Amino acid sequence: MKHRRTLCPFAFAFLVIGGMGGAACLSGNQQPNASPGPTHAEHVAEKVASPSAPRLDLHFDPDAFTLSKKSLVSWVQQSADAVAAFYGRFPVDRVRIDLRPVQGAGIRVGFVFDDEPLRIRIDIGRETQQSQLNDDWVLVHELVHLALPDLDERHHWLEEGLATYVERIVRVRAGLVDEQEMWSHFVWGMAKGRPRGGDRGLDATPTWGRTYWGGALFCMVADVRIRRQTQGQFGLEDAMRSILLVGGNREVVWPIERILRVGDDAVGVHVLTDIYAEMALSPRDVDLDAFWQRMGVYVSNGEFAGFDDSAPWADVRKSITQRSDQLASNRPVVLWRSGG
């Protein structure tokens, strides 16, 4: 049975400790869009055009924000489209999204609540600017949570790690952020996911670093290993797409073994099961210096310093962010509702 649980309890710590994670990642010079929001007729037209499309019921009070209603609706639509493009489909048929106004400017924190339907809450500053919406990662992170079954508490690192890893790839593929920024973010973050003295496997070390970045490190290592072992035919996304295809979204509870098995079967190699034994059941470290070198990611003084396209795994690195022309099979429809 599904139990009521909230995802992202560490999200605030992520923002504060993360630095580059969100609040500090603000750039751009677009002004708030003052044009009026979509008309009722437009909403009805969208609904009629795609009666079976996944529905995102977006609740907020337009008077609570400096940004226009249209800007906020577009940001949600763009984030949902980006996630749907990565997975080939939007992960659930229905989700409620609440935008809760808070003091100041910027997207502060997000949560997923296991309500029926699933509910995402984003706390967003009343004075948030368009440039901050453009740079936002929080909403995509929360939407990625919808694409994995609810797991036992000890596997929380996979839920947060997958969201941390996939969010950035989703945004690069959608053209919302560039590869340099992504690898720079990964160089900065992945080191925080390595085991420290006294740590056990990911299943038994629920610290912030191991949960978010240890989980992301698991996903990155798995992605690269799947791509190498299948000669570039498949990546982690193919494993995750298959899990969704057989109903493995946030609405259901699965044992982790089923996720690993369905994912591995989809790509024909036993990478997820193997890496789970290495990193989750024991504290095996990843030699990140050697990893970045093989991937052709220059690192200087712990920071990203450029790409080396002659590196042995440079093509693997490029394939991770390569855009596919494949469209999502079920484009989500965002419907605004009053209140938040």
Chain residues that interact with Zn ion, rule: CB under 5 A: 8, 160, 163
What is the DSSP secondary structure assignment for residue 134, as one 8-state letter? H
- Minimum separation from the CB atom of position 35 to Zn ion (A): 32
Tell me whether residue 135 or residue 160 sits nearer to Zn ion (CB atom): 160
Q: Which residues contact 83 (CB under 8 A, 6 or more apart)?
A: 90, 91, 140, 143, 144, 146, 147, 170
Tell me whether residue 67 or residue 280 sits nearer to Zn ion (CB atom): 280
- Minimum separation from the CB atom of position 141 to Zn ion (A): 5
- Minimum separation from the CB atom of position 308 to Zn ion (A): 32
Tokens of 95: 């989700």
Crossing angle of the two packed helices 215-229 and 288-295, in degrees rounded to 10: 40
CB 94 within 8 A of CB 101: no
The secondary element (H helix, E strand) that includes residue 275 is: helix 271-275
Tell me whether residue 10 or residue 291 sits nearer to Zn ion (CB atom): 10
Tell me whether residue 17 or residue 327 sits nearer to Zn ion (CB atom): 17
Tell me whether residue 8 or residue 299 sits nearer to Zn ion (CB atom): 8
Rounded Cα distance, 110 and 123, in Å: 6
Strand order in the sheet with 55-59: 6-7, 107-113, 118-125, 94-102, 55-59, 333-337
| Closest residue to Zn ion: CB criterion | 8
Tell me whether residue 23 or residue 299 sits nearer to Zn ion (CB atom): 23
- Minimum separation from the CB atom of position 6 to Zn ion (A): 10
* Cα 268 to Cα 7, 169, 321, distances in angstroms: 31, 23, 22
- Minimum separation from the CB atom of position 309 to Zn ion (A): 33
What is the DSSP secondary structure assignment for residue 212, as one 8-state letter? I
- Minimum separation from the CB atom of position 24 to Zn ion (A): 18
